[in-house]
Amino acid sequence: MHSLVITKWEFKNTLSSKKFITIFLLQVSILILMIIFFNSFMGNIEPGKNVALTPSLTGFASIDVVDNENLFEKQLNPDILKINRMNYSIAYNRFKNNKTTGLLIVPSDALEKIDRYETLNLSLFVNYNDPKRSVVKSEVDSASKSLSSIITNEWLKEISPENLTQPSVEQTEQGEPLPLQIINKVMIAILLFLPLFLFGNMVIDSIVGEKERKTAEILMAMPLSPSNIILGKSLAIIITIAFQVILWMIILLSAGFNIKNAILVYLLVILTSIPIIGITSMIAAYCKNYKEAGIGISFIYIGIVGFLVVPALAYLSGSTRASTISPMTLVMKLFSGETISTTDLVIPILIIIVVSLISYSISIQLFKRDDVVFGPRPSLFRLFFEFIGILSLIKYIKSKIL
């Protein structure tokens, strides 16, 4: 009951803070920017083509093409190459003056040669001084293969039109390509879990702030136990996260993202926030000031993000055994509409419960100690030895000997 008083007080304070509202709105605008980026990226993916997570820099490398009959130029990829079609003398001078990475020379009588069934000999000058040479070579190679295939087919049509039957190829694909899964599933999962990491500063402000502002003494003097304080403060932040996640989910669903089992997904994300806030409270309870706590959560959050994301990526690449430990994997399975086994459900929830129990117990124990809250603060080693009972053992041995 006392915890709820603290929760109400903290929550009211948060909502009445203009700065919190500003930060909250900025976070929403970041989400909208991410949605725009995501939609733009997905819009650029051509159906049936392999998806690669590479930059899409127009004109990254450059090539000049001497192609009087405009035979080859249209086969080159203008998304990667900056293609200039020009006459030989200008093109050669440009290439000599290092204005381009490559120079492709197509014979001036290319069409006549094709008509005469003669092989087309093309010259590709490549500037090896330029690191983008492999890009130019690869693009010319692809264009040459595709043009070769067109010419061969045309020749065969003319040589032997009656014998052109060839086996057809029918390709069936199983599942979603890995890069597309990474973009689709990981992106949605990251957007859903992101609010969980945006409130670390609030936890620090709420717990370390009491120490820095010297209000912890007043708080401790009130008829509240350390567990009331820690749990009450944490609950206020979990409620704030719950509001933010619901808002983000509404925005994502309105933007057309397909999130199946939305309620279960929501509950699991909120459930995951409980141990994260617990761990953050643990750091905040031990740290002396904002700076120290800030560094502490930066490192711990890297570990938590790793714990959530790495198994999720392992699940996408087909490894199923270890991937079940992460709640993010379960969330991905839920919003993709996959069948959930008991193991899929039990392991992450068990981890959430165990980590929550441990982290909140440690936070409460730390907040109970005057030396941790008011100083002089004991070192982490000392706390650890105390926890495993070594210090009591030493004391016992000393008392026996003396």
Residues 179-218 that bind other proteins (CB under 8 A): 181, 201, 204-205, 209
Q: First CA to last CA across the chain, in angstroms?
A: 48
Contact positions with other proteins (CB under 8 A) in 320-359? none
Q: Is residue 318 a contact residue for other proteins (CB under 8 A)?
A: yes
Fill in the amino acid letter for 391. L
Q: Residues 1, 52, 221, 402: which binds other proteins (CB under 8 A)? A: 52
Cβ distance to other proteins smaller for residue 5 or 33 = 33
CB of 181 to other proteins, least distance (A): 7
Cα–Cα dist 388/402, whole Å: 24
Q: Residues 1, 18, 46, 50: which binds other proteins (CB under 8 A)? A: 50
Q: Is residue 399 a contact residue for other proteins (CB under 8 A)?
A: no
Contact positions with other proteins (CB under 8 A) in 278-317? 290-291, 294-295, 316-317
Parallel, antiparallel, or unpaired: how do β-strands 102-105 and 81-85 relate?
unpaired
CB of 54 to other proteins, least distance (A): 5
Contact positions with other proteins (CB under 8 A) in 65-84? 79-80
Contact positions with other proteins (CB under 8 A) in 86-145? 95, 97-99, 114, 117, 119-135, 137-141, 144
Extract the tokens encoding 79.
Answer: 């998304």
The binding track of 10-49 with respect to other proteins, each residue x by CB under 8 A or -, is ---------x---x--xx--x--x---x--xx--x-----
Q: Residues 47, 175, 223, 256: which binds other proteins (CB under 8 A)? A: 175
Extract the tokens encoding 188.
Answer: 């949605």
Cβ distance to other proteins smaller for residue 189 or 352 = 189
Q: Residues 89, 170, 342, 400: which binds other proteins (CB under 8 A)? A: 170
Long-range contacts of 318-321 (CB under 8 A, 24+ apart): none
Cβ distance to other proteins smaller for residue 117 or 384 = 117
DSSP label at 322?
A: G
CB of 396 to other proteins, least distance (A): 38
The binding track of 144-163 with respect to other proteins, each residue x by CB under 8 A or -, is x--xxx-xx--xx--xx--x
Q: How many residues belong to the chain?
A: 402
CB of 341 to other proteins, least distance (A): 17
For 3, 168, 203, 295, 360, the CA distances from 283, given in Å and listed in that order, are 20, 64, 10, 10, 11
Angle between helices 262-286 and 187-197 (to 10 degrees): 40
Cβ distance to other proteins smaller for residue 149 or 215 = 149
Burial class (CB in 10 A: 0-12, 13-18, 19+), 189: buried
Burial class (CB in 10 A: 0-12, 13-18, 19+), 329: buried
CB of 33 to other proteins, least distance (A): 5
Q: Residues 167, 223, 256, 376: which binds other proteins (CB under 8 A)? A: 167
Cα–Cα dist 5/70, whole Å: 78
Cβ distance to other proteins smaller for residue 95 or 367 = 95
Rounded to the nearest 5 degrees, what angle is found at the Cα of 111, between the Cα atoms of 108 and 117? 120
Number of residues that bind other proteins (CB under 8 A): 86
Q: Is residue 379 a contact residue for other proteins (CB under 8 A)?
A: no
Instruction: State the number of CA atoms in the 13 A half-sphere of 183 facing the CB.
Output: 19
CB of 165 to other proteins, least distance (A): 7
Cβ–Cβ < 8 Å for 323, 312: yes
Cβ–Cβ < 8 Å for 155, 119: no
The owner of tokens 């609010």 is 195
Residue 63's SS3 state is strand
CB of 29 to other proteins, least distance (A): 8
Cα–Cα dist 133/222, whole Å: 72
Cβ distance to other proteins smaller for residue 30 or 218 = 30
Cβ distance to other proteins smaller for residue 141 or 217 = 141
